[in-house]
Amino acid sequence: MRIGVPKEIKNHEYRVGLTPASVAELSAAGHELIVETRAGMGIDFEDSDYVEAGARIVANPAEVFGAADMIVKVKEPQPSEIALLQPRHVLFTYLHLAADKPQALGLMQSGATCIAYETVTSRGGSLPLLKPMSEVAGRMSIQVGAHYLEKEQGGRGVLLGGVPGVAPARVAILGGGVAGVNAAQMAVGMRADVTIYDINNDRLAELDMFFSSQIKTAYASKAAIAAAVAKAHLVIGAVLVPGAAAPKLVTREMLKTMKRGSVLVDIAIDQGGCFETSHPTTHDDPVFVEEGVIHYCVANMPGAVARTSAFALNNATLPFALALANKGAEAAMAADPHLAAGLNVSAGKIRHQAVAEALDLRFEGWHGY
């Protein structure tokens, strides 16, 4: 198969769909790799590194898309990239369509087969291609939250871990999944006062055992969330419904009860965000203030630590990329229902039910299901 890797063009996106090590694996399996010039520069890989790994370097995205059968990316295709997609293409990347109807309509019009990292599943029901970026975003959320609590950033002027004789900051984490757990690990390490909220009692019990006395847990009722928000210095939104839009857990009215200079970090912004007042921001302009509360809603948080993120992502995606390349998309998905769960769009139709419901579009199941 001919596999193309374009340079990412989203704002401050430095990751790359395939590292030279991944290119070498695919090349050794007999596939042709076409990489756009400077695609790996954001993580300090030269074109020569890709040539050494077996790739051919081309000058622009049009050449990548024109030569390749499968496109491997990191972030959702931008409009100029969607315009290059054809029905023969397999697109393998993050899509997050539930919060992006224009993209979904563009992909439908292209006729391409579009497989989203974030809805590929594992045997245990987890999301293995979302997990590494959830780990990064969870850990980053505490890092950026602590920064924006500083007075010179407009924050309340609170040190996350406090000091002897002065209480630490109160951190409320909404969602006890991968992102939430990684946020909690970082917050505990910085000696904050941490509470995780979730609606799954079994998960709360697991978290209680895992963290022991280092954190508190609470059932995420509306009343509990309202009370948490009112007293928290930092709130992390880490909820996820696979493929679907994130539920709005924190309303503007709740926001009004928060102390001025408190901080919200919305990890769920790719799926529409879990705070009523959220809207996507960029690394260029990462925060805005509503009701006196700082909102950090960067839609590609892991792009800020691109080298770590690119390697972690490639570790997870490479086996699936190999399967798609070796067998072809149809056969690979027919052989692996977990990979098939990643299919969001093909032949102009929405193939993922949660995406269809979120966008109010017709769902048509793929024949291999």
Active site residues: 96, 270
Q: Which residues are 91's β-sheet partners?
A: 71, 114
Q: Could you tell me if residue 176 is left (phi over 0), alpha (psi between -120 and 50 degrees) or otherwise beta?
A: alpha
The amino acid at residue 93 is: T
